[in-house]
Structure 1
Amino acid sequence: MLNPEDQFHVGIVVEDFEGTLEQLSSLFGYDWCDETGGPVALELPTGAAVLDMRCTFSRTSPRLEVVRRIPGTLWEPVPGSTLHHVGYWSDDVAGDTLKLEDHGYVIEATRPGADGGLFFAFLRSARGPRVELVTRGVQPHLEQYWAQPSATPATDTGRNSS
């Protein structure tokens, strides 16, 4: 099953992306990577979809992922909370997905990887937090992304809003 040391971020989905980054920086000292994302091909319970997924990660640990809201999808802020998911590295996203399903989790979205396996999977449970499983193969790339200096000054609240 999943291990605590494989948990690498907490994802929040927000309505006010720039305002949230500014607040988390000013109140809690977070420093942010540049915004990343774009069209992503996904499998949803309703079928294939392409969604414009945009987010940023904190350089600061514990790592936060702030995700722009996507209306009408599972990427909407939860009423009363912006907590969206807990992200885990996985050496076998498909296998770990099956294990979570065996424990009552339901698949909400998956993204196929270039190797034919799963790149990531989002699952939810009535008794626990939503979980994102991410292939460990992307870990070196994300670590490089987290280490890059921001192209946008930390005091600028209009981070990559173009």
Structure 2
Amino acid sequence: MTAFYHVCFAVPDIERAMRDLQWAAGVEWSAPASDRIGEWDFRIVFTTGGPPFIELIEGPAGSPWDASAGARFDHIGFWSSDVEQGSRRLRDQGLPTDFSGCLHGRPFAYHLVDSIGARVELVDLGRQAAFLAKWNPGGDPMQAIDEGSPG
């Protein structure tokens, strides 16, 4: 089972991207958070009021979210009831793993989809409640999320 819940842009300046999208699309943002995975520090933020959410991520050069050549559409995110099984299915369909957070104790994986110039992210469904509590507090936890395909 998978469920679509966000789109993500890798950006070199998270505050600028937040400001521009708020002005252009009328979205509201939660507060950005800083984190680290492997050797990379990164910053991340999500719109409020979803799903679907818009995610912005700012990572250093050489990281999975490197936007040193400019902002870019990075991935489409799906909740997955089994990231390992979903990743295996995607690899079997010719969509190679680009980065796995699982190797760093984080239950997610990115798969390259060359035909769209972006990635598909599978995130363990068990993280959904914590995600909603952090990024969409006060939102309806039972709000419908579209059933999707990748995982």
Instruction: Report the TM range for the smaller structure's normalisation.
Output: 0.7 to 0.9
Counterpart position of 1:139: 128
Kept after mapping to 2: 8 A contact 1:9/1:86? yes
Equivalences for 1:1-162 in 2 at 5 Å? Answer: 3=2, 6-41=3-38, 50-61=39-50, 62-77=52-67, 82-112=72-102, 119-128=107-116, 129-148=118-137
Verify the 8 A CA contact 2:40 2:63 in the aligned structure 1. Answer: no
Structure 2 residue identity aligned to 1:35: P
Please tell me the root mean square deviation across aligned C-alpha atoms, in Å: 2.4
Gaps of 5+ in 1: 42-49, 150-162
The whole-number CA distance in structure 1 between the counterparts of 2:100 and 2:129 is: 21
Is the partner of 2:131 in helix, strand or coil?
helix
In 2: Cα distance, 1:20 partner to 1:75 partner: 15
How many residues are paired up? 136
Gapped regions of structure 2 (runs ≥ 5): 139-151
Question: Per chain length, whose mean CA-contact separation is higher, i.e. which structure has more relative contact order (CA < 8 Å, sep 6+)?
Answer: 2
CA deviation after TM superposition for structure 1 residue 69, in Å? 3.2
Distance in 2 (CA, whole Å) between partners of 1:73 and 1:40 is: 10
Greater mean deviation of Cα atoms: 59-68 or 12-21: 59-68
Distance in 2 of aligned mates of 1:144 and 1:77: 28
| 4+ long deviations beyond 3 Å | 77-81
Percent of residue pairs identical = 26
